[in-house]
């Protein structure tokens, strides 16, 4: 099986055994091409992020350890049979999600989730956007019903668009009003993320709050908080963070 960042690239044949074939075919038309079986951290600090807080969990890790913040969609489909009519109701969901691309280039989910008995598998299926996360942009969760994809929270941009079918996942993109890079940097500076992980690091035996106090994490956070002036500056900043990321084991 093909791999990407340590995750299985799930083949079409397997996807159609876990989801409806029409759902998978429609996803491809919708722009969702490569679906990964996302690895989940099961031990240590990075297995203990706050539930339902995936975006802040990953932001916190990148600000302290480095690596990359990757956005995408969790792919889920719920199949229910109407007891009266016997008709299958196949509804799906694309849930906006953040995963951490670690300094070792391993893509992992750091946000605990409960198993869902309505799904055929407890694996986490993830479509990853090609670019790194933009902290000033987000995506609506998307529901799939009767062959249509509809954003659930389109009220971010204007009223009255809930339930409006869209033809490509990029149409669910929106700007986070008032949430700028400066806002995220202030959260890091104010230590509002230091209790986000309930377990200690296996490597350092320290809590996340304690790691934030180390000279390494302080330097990483200072670099993370720099606001890029342009695209060239942004690329340079990413390279600096990538280079620093591999220093953590000796920090």
Q: How confident is the model at residue 211 (pLDDT cuts 50, 70, 90)?
A: confident
110-149 burial by CB neighbour count: b if 16+ within 10 A, else e? bbbeeeeeeeeeeebbbbbeeeebebeebbbbbbbeeeeb
Alpha carbon of 111 to those of 35, 61, 119: distances in Å? Answer: 19, 12, 19
Q: Which of 28-42, 84-98, 176-190 has the lowest mean pLDDT?
A: 176-190
Residue 37 has pLDDT above 90, yes or no: yes
pLDDT of residue 217: 87
Q: How confident is the model at residue 190 (pLDDT cuts 50, 70, 90)?
A: low
Percentage of residues in the chain having pLDDT higher than 70:
79
Alpha helices, H only, the chain: 12-18, 21-29, 54-65, 181-189, 208-212, 215-224, 231-245
Please tell me the pTM assigned to this model: 0.86
pLDDT of residue 245: 83
Q: How confident is the model at residue 184 (pLDDT cuts 50, 70, 90)?
A: low
Q: How confident is the model at residue 221 (pLDDT cuts 50, 70, 90)?
A: confident
pLDDT digits (tens, 9 = 90+) for 103-120: 889 999 999 877 665 566
Q: How confident is the model at residue 4 (pLDDT cuts 50, 70, 90)?
A: very high
Q: Which of 29-33, 37-41, 184-188, 211-215 has the lowest mean pLDDT?
A: 184-188
Mean pLDDT of the chain: 83
Token pair recorded at residue 172:
């669910």
pLDDT digits (tens, 9 = 90+) for 115-148: 665 566 778 999 999 999 988 889 999 999 888 9
pLDDT digits (tens, 9 = 90+) for 149-165: 999 876 555 554 556 89
Q: How confident is the model at residue 27 (pLDDT cuts 50, 70, 90)?
A: very high
pLDDT of residue 175: 84
């Amino acid at each position: 099986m093909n791999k990407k960042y340590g995750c299985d690239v799930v083949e079409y044949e397997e996807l159609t055994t876990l989801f409806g074939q029409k759902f998978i075919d429609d996803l491809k038309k919708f722009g969702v091409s490569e679906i990964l079986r996302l690895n989940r951290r099961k031990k240590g600090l990075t297995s203990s992020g706050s539930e339902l807080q995936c975006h802040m969990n990953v932001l916190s890790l990148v600000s302290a350890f480095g690596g990359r913040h990757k956005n995408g969609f969790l792919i889920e489909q719920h199949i229910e049979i109407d007891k009266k009519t016997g008709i299958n109701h196949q509804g799906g969901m694309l849930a906006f999600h953040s995963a951490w691309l670690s300094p070792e280039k391993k893509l992992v989910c750091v946000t605990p989730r409960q198993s869902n008995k309505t799904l055929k598998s407890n694996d986490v299926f993830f479509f990853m956007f090609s670019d790194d996360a933009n902290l000033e942009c987000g995506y609506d969760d998307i529901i799939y019903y009767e062959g249509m994809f509809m954003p659930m929270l389109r009220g971010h941009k204007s009223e009255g668009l809930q339930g409006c079918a869209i033809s490509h996942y990029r149409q669910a993109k929106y700007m986070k009003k008032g949430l700028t890079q400066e806002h995220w940097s202030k959260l890091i500076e104010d230590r509002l993320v230091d209790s986000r992980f309930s377990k200690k690091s296996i490597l350092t035996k320290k809590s996340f709050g304690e790691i934030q106090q180390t000279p390494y994490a302080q330097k990483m956070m200072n670099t993370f908080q720099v606001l890029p002036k342009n695209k060239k500056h942004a690329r340079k900043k990413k390279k600096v963070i990538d280079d620093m990321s591999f220093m953590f084991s000796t920090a």
